[in-house]
Amino acid sequence: MAVEIVRLFQVELEHYEKIEGTQLTLDGKANRLATMIRGNLGQALQGLAVVPLFAGFDVDAANNGRAAPASGRIFSFDVAGGRYPEQYYESIGSGSLFAKGSLKKRWTPGLDRMGAVRVAVEALYDAADDDSATGGPDLTRGIFPVVRLATAEGTARVPDDELGGLVLDIVEQRRTRPGS
């Protein structure tokens, strides 16, 4: 269901762009996603809920009389389509409470690229420690989490070779200093 909503959302954004000749604003995109989630309320009441996390950069902020944001914006949603702007970081899923606690503890303004990746991976580890439904890296088979970085210029996946070294470093640190 989540994949279907993502695909439909992408198609609707492309359709809007073709019809209007311009991109929908970030707030407009978040509002449209909230409407789509609200449209699935019946299924959510039956236990088939999709609760996305939406992040992006408002490229029109300066044109709308607001100061250009120094960083992107994050929106979380509830199953009824409620839209909530978040500050700095957010997490969703069964282990989100543990991940958000980790993010709160480790995130600082001005993190560099690998610092941000490290904070995200450590949050995933913290969630996996306390939530059986949250998976962590599989060191035996070399399977690492998929980490994507989003900037105003676009998104990019962190390569597994780069991520692998970081994951091994985190595992070693946790082995030698449990609870750190």
Sketch the domain layout of the chain as residue ranges. 1-87, 91-180
User: Among 12-26, 87-101, 150-164, which stretch is predicted with the lowest mean pLDDT?
Assistant: 150-164
Do 77 and 41 contact (CB within 8 A), yes or no? no
80 HSE (CA, 13 A, CB side): 2
Cβ–Cβ < 8 Å for 27, 74: no
| Class of 1-87 in CATH | alpha beta
Q: In 3D, which of 56, 55, 5, 60 has the Cα closest to residue 35?
A: 5
Both tokens of 108, joined, read: 């600082």
Mean pLDDT of the chain: 87
Do the beta carbons of residue 158 and residue 148 sit within 8 Å? Answer: yes
Mean pLDDT across 138-152: 87
pLDDT of 116: 94
Q: What is the mean pLDDT of residues 51-55?
A: 91
Predicted confidence at residue 70, as pLDDT, reads 45
Q: What whole-number distance in Å separates Cα of residue 89 and Cα of residue 8?
A: 26
| pLDDT at res. 65 | 56
What's the pLDDT band for 143 if we cut at 50, 70, 90?
A: confident
Mean pLDDT of 80-89: 92
Predicted local distance difference test score (pLDDT) of residue 137: 81
The CATH superfamily of 91-180 is: Aminohydrolase, N-terminal nucleophile (Ntn) domain (3.60.20.10)
Backbone φ and ψ of 156, nearest 5°: -150, 140
136, pLDDT greater than 90: no
63 pLDDT band (50/70/90 cuts)? low
Residues 149, 156: contact at Cβ < 8 Å?
yes
Assign residue 90 a region: left if phi > 0, alpha if psi is -120 to 50, beta otherwise?
Answer: beta
Residues 7-31, mean pLDDT to the nearest whole number: 93
Report the candidate in 158, 131, 132 with the shortest Cα–Cα distance to residue 145. Answer: 158
Residue 122 is predicted with a pLDDT of 93
Find where tokens 């980490």 sit. Answer: 147
- Tokens representing 81 are 């389509």
Query: At 67, is the pLDDT very low, low, confident or very high (cuts 50, 70, 90)?
Result: low
pLDDT at 167 over 50: yes
Q: Are 44 and 29 in contact (CB under 8 A)?
A: no
pLDDT at 99 over 70: yes
Q: What is the mean pLDDT of residues 101-128?
A: 94
